[in-house]
Amino acid sequence: MKMAIRRTAKPRVAFEDEYRTSLGEYAAGRGEPALGRAYELGRRALTEQKSLVEMASLHHQAVLALLPDAESEKHRVELLQASAEFLAECLSPYEMAHRGFQDAVKALRQLNETLEEEIKRIAYAVHDEAGQLLVAVHLALAEVALELPQPQQAPFARIKEMLNQVEKHLRRYSHELRPTILDDLGWIPAIRFLAEGISKRANLPIHIDAAVPGRPPATTETTLYRIVQEALTNAVKHAQASNIWIRAWRENLVLCCSIRDDGAGFDSSQAHAAPGRSRKGLGLIAMQERVTAIGGTLHIESRPGHGTEVSIRLPLEGNHANSHRARG
């Protein structure tokens, strides 16, 4: 009877040891095969999430270990040159990953801009076209009402009041989709207008401390407005907050904004990873994507029972950061 042969997998060599060995082989003149291993090591480093700083430190230690074996100044120069080639090949997967990330961010930025243009078109259509149609309906009803006897005027008055409510809601929806004040006066007046409306509807105090001179680029203003809008929506719908605080300030070439509430809070570490993501989870992801698309950072700090704070930091170009035209 044949015996089954059990094959045991070879233990995987530690990354650091394999790097030193492969670098030594390439420095000893092993040619393209050894250089090819540098590329594979770079891919493995990415998979193991090793940072560039870690790679630089590892390479430095590996070169220091090889230098004592160099017999002459010429050999040391050749070793350093070979080690530079090996490191460059090892880091090439990082370069490709970085380029891919840049392409993805560019595509995301273009997508956001396209969506905002479509939102703007819909908002203006709701405000202008629907508004004009309602005016025509009001005029037509007024003409009909003139020909009716007084006892039949009451139903028309009720219809007129309902049309007024429709017009009011359409105007609010239009402003929340894309307020004209955002384009005309900037993001700070826009969030003041937004906060005022939400505060009245939800009976929730919203405190704003924002006096940033100048106006950043339109894309930055839109990003800030959308994040504040999403944060306020989450606070009202989910947080059961008693107060909300919005702050905006500038630190040299960085525009900062925070939205904080004293509500129920949540486990922020689970917000992105949970299966079947909630509306709130998707909102947090959308915030992160918007900030990433323009090179900023977003941090969410929250714990159950301790409220939530959303912090945004966006880099400003010099000509915008140095502007002193106060708006908002």
Reported as a pLDDT band with limits 50, 70 and 90, residue 5 is very low
CB neighbourhood size of 300 (10 A): 18
Q: Give the integer Cα–Cα distance in Å for 196 and 244.
A: 12
The predicted pLDDT at position 163 comes to 81
The predicted pLDDT at position 256 comes to 94
Question: What would the pLDDT profile of 41-89 be if each residue is shown by its tens digit?
Answer: 999 998 888 898 999 999 999 888 888 887 788 888 888 888 999 999 9
Mean pLDDT of 183-203: 90
The yes-or-no verdict on residue 203 having pLDDT over 70 is yes
Mean pLDDT of 137-158: 76
The predicted pLDDT at position 188 comes to 93
The predicted pLDDT at position 309 comes to 93
Q: Give the integer Cα–Cα distance in Å for 233 and 220.
A: 20
Question: What would the pLDDT profile of 235-267 be if each residue is shown by its tens digit?
Answer: 888 888 899 999 999 988 899 999 999 988 887
Span of 13-22, 205-214, 240-249, 274-283 with lowest mean pLDDT: 274-283
The predicted pLDDT at position 73 comes to 86
3-state SS, one letter per residue, for the chain? CCCCCCCCCCCCCCHHHHHHHHHHHHHCCCCHHHHHHHHHHHHHHHHCCCCHHHHHHHHHHHHHHHHHHCCCHHHHHHHHHHHHHHHHHHHHHHHHHHHHHHHHHHHHHHHHHHHHHHHHHHHHHHHHHHHHHHHHHHHHHHHHHHCCCHHHHHHHHHHHHHHHHHHHHHHHHHHHHCCHHHHHCCHHHHHHHHHHHHHHHHCCCEEEEECCECCCCHHHHHHHHHHHHHHHHHHHHHHCCCCEEEEEEEECCEEEEEEEECCCCCCHHHCCCCCCCCHHHHHHHHHHHHHHHCCCEEEEEECCCCCEEEEEEEECCHHHHCCCCECC
Q: Which residue has the higher pLDDT, 129 or 97?
A: 97
Rounded to two decimals, the pTM is 0.60
